[in-house]
Structure 1
Amino acid sequence: MEASICIVCLRERLRDGETVVCAEGYMWELERRGFVCSGDFTPEVVLDYPERVRALHEEFVLAGSDVVEAFTYYAHEAKLKSVGRESDFADLNLNSLKMAREIADRYGKLMAGNICNSTSFDPGDPDNVARTKNMFKVQIEWAVQGGADYIIAETFNELAEAKLALKVIQEYGNGLPAVVTMAPYSRDTTLEDIPLPDALRQLEVAGADVVGLNCSRGPETMMPLLEEARKTCKGPLAALPACFRTTQKENCYYRLTDPKNGKPLFPANLYCVQSSREDIRKFAEQARQLGVSYIGLCCGATPSLLREVAQVYGRNPELSRFAPNTSRNYYLKANLSARELKIKKLLFGEMSEQL
């Protein structure tokens, strides 16, 4: 299958000054809905409940995503072996790509193939490097076969692995564009102690069409790094934060603790500190002002949060008609009767004067 010829390719869009909105975060949203195991984070839902994946693709598109990303994150043999599903390796990848292509064509969107960090990369072990390269190669060749318009290589903390992923896309991706994003954990450097902005610039020089940051950090703690990256990188910059309220003290979601008791929240209890719509809108406004042209959300993303990003970037997606409208709320509308004001006071207490 060839990529859809009716869609302007990623390179042309970015060259012409367009922006691209891309929904990620499938793993966490499907886990929140009960169809992915928190901890394993493997995507067998593609085979077991494909209608759930298809529905989420459509929801993100209707919320404003320009891209349908095939749900092949952690869909490699080593990860699937850990849950006894290695025999499903090929079917899972091919079915996911087919599903994404179908939804992308239905709505006139780009379709992206996906590879990610291996979780076991060791640049000092030649056999390990060869296995990782082959893992990337197989998934990229399937993405080309499945009609991907470009390839996303994401969530790397080690520059050597990100460079390997880019090299394999260039060798086996049939000329498809490559978007390569690094995950900023607690430090502002890669695992090799290279400042992340410098690492992104190296990937850019090596030929990545888009470089940037995804996952790990929420909006508040990703933005300072993006500002530094914008000074360093010359081409299109990507920003796809996790949707959790990271802070200067707890700057990536692995470090977040429960505000009530101080217990670690990762992995199963992070939603008590999920970003608000206002958090996401503020981030999108800052990113747009910074010149980020490839924008999206990662872990913790929902259609309603992505809609905020799309609207800031000038989109008017289908789901905009369901955006909040407090003017019609029974207790928040104007010109309340005396009885309604009494009920409002009962509901909201002293806050009722501010609403």
Structure 2
Amino acid sequence: MTKRSLEQRLQEGTVIAGEGFLFELERRGYLQAGSFVPEVALENPDALKETYRDFMKAGSDVVLAFTYNAHREKMRIIGKEELLEPLNRSAIRLAKEVAKEHPTEEALVAGNISNTNIFDPEDPESKEKVRAMFAEMIGWCKEEGVDYIHAETFYYHEEAVIALEEIQKQGLPAVILLGLMGENILRDGYTVEDSCQVLSEKGALVVGMNCFRGPDTMQPYLEKIRKQVTGYTGGLPVPYRTTEEHPTFFNLPDGGCSCHLPTETTFPTALEPLSHNRYELAEWAKEAKDIGINYIGLCCGASPAMIRAVAEACGLETINSRYSPDMEKHFLFGKDKTLKQHNLNYRSKA
């Protein structure tokens, strides 16, 4: 089967975008929380390939090259700027290898750029630095042959516009996603729906939101974006139980924690008790699809099982759907007629 482009897939239905590699690889022991630099692409390429593979088999239509935070500023902070280009190229090449393994249709491969944390709307020099950082990363993506650029987690509208402009210079399709912090407005004064409208009108193929917010505190803004934007829209929340009082995962409290946390908050390494289960995430995915969100996934904290639940909720059968839960033969909760009745009688007391 000929590999369809992102736009072709969007025209035909929902596209599932599985990410969340930052937390997943930290959990697996291959990435340092705090600096969150994806050195795994060079140090443990097999671990990265396996993570890519697990998310693809769980239903992701795209293998997202893991270059989040692999920009010049982050590499400067950890003192490894000389690894910048090798890391980016390795992450993309590994993604391309895995994408070809898809048994029915080769997965898309997306290059990845993200917020730089140095953008300052009052500092023209910072804007040029950001532009240069994006330009070199997107240039490597173009040379390595990615299908599109997934640009994400921008909390400044203008930084997102710069990202779009640099993507367009390379002639690549652009997905532009915004990260909305607790102020409920982007830091340079734009609402997310206004920003998305501008970005869509400027030529982004998909606009929307990712990260920071869980489904409950992202969905109201996705609804606003969907009403205001005529093009394709995306939503990739974190899988955590954010609330109106605590709209992002940066300051989520855990009232049940009895130990001393080494950080002031549960973010980033004590969020496990605050996670949504896969069924709640599936319900959100249905809601997102029903209002017309086209590009659906999960961000930091996602697991392959969560991505599979999201994909299946959108009506898709994944490579690994054959491993989806089926309690029919469970010794306590099953309904198979060959199960022992004395075990089934005991299940309410177990």
Q: Identify the TM-score tier after normalising by the shorter chain.
A: over 0.9
Matches of 1:303 and 1:188, distance apart in 2: 29
Give the match for residue 226 of structure 1: 222
Give the match for residue 344 of structure 1: 347
Deviations 1:2-31 (A, max 9, x none): xxx9422112332x3422111111111111
Matches of 1:122 and 1:67, distance apart in 2: 32
What RMSD in Å do the two structures reach over aligned CA positions? 1.6
Pairing 1:197-212 to 2, within 5 Å after superposition: 197-212=193-208
Q: Match of 1:31, as an amino acid?
A: E
Give the match for residue 96 of structure 2: 101
Give the match for residue 58 of structure 2: 63
Q: Answer whether contact 2:331 2:340 (CA < 8 A) is retained.
A: no
Shift of 1:337: 4.8
Q: Which runs of 5+ in 2 are unaligned?
A: 259-263
Shift of 1:338: 5.6
Matches of 2:344 and 2:177, distance apart in 1: 51
Pairing 1:9-28 to 2, within 5 Å after superposition: 9-14=5-10, 16-28=11-23
DSSP-derived class of the 1:211 partner: strand
Pairing 1:319-338 to 2, within 5 Å after superposition: 319-334=320-335, 337=340
Deviations 1:53-93 (A, max 9, x none): 10011111111110011001000121022222221111100
Give the match for residue 286 of structure 1: 287
Pairing 1:77-96 to 2, within 5 Å after superposition: 77-96=72-91
Deviations 1:265-305 (A, max 9, x none): 11211112111011111111101101111111111111100
Shift of 1:122: 1.3
Aligned length: 340
Is 1:115 matched with 2:116?
A: no
Mean CA deviation greater in 132-141 or 31-40: 31-40
Shift of 1:259: 2.6
Shift of 1:199: 1.0
Mean CA deviation greater in 253-262 or 40-49: 253-262
DSSP-derived class of the 1:145 partner: helix
DSSP-derived class of the 2:250 partner: helix
Matches of 1:313 and 1:189, distance apart in 2: 29
Pairing 1:265-276 to 2, within 5 Å after superposition: 265-276=266-277
Matches of 1:215 and 1:146, distance apart in 2: 26
Q: Match of 1:166, as an amino acid?
A: L
Give the match for residue 143 of structure 1: 141
Give the match for residue 296 of structure 1: 297
DSSP-derived class of the 1:106 partner: coil
Q: Match of 2:184, as an amino acid?
A: D
Shift of 1:264: 2.3
Q: Match of 2:121, as an amino acid?
A: P
Matches of 1:39 and 1:250, distance apart in 2: 21
Matches of 1:109 and 1:208, distance apart in 2: 21
Give the match for residue 316 of structure 1: 317
TM-score (normalised: structure 2): 0.93
Is 1:185 matched with 2:193?
A: no
Matches of 1:79 and 1:133, distance apart in 2: 15
Deviations 1:100-123 (A, max 9, x none): 111112320110001000011113
Q: Answer whether contact 2:234 2:294 (CA < 8 A) is retained.
A: yes
Q: Match of 2:126, as an amino acid?
A: N
How has the CA–CA distance of structure 1 residues 341 and 9 changed in structure 2, closer, same or farther, with 3 Å as cutoff?
Answer: closer
Q: Answer whether contact 1:219 1:279 (CA < 8 A) is retained.
A: no
Shift of 1:341: 4.4
Sequence identity (%): 37
Matches of 2:69 and 2:158, distance apart in 1: 19
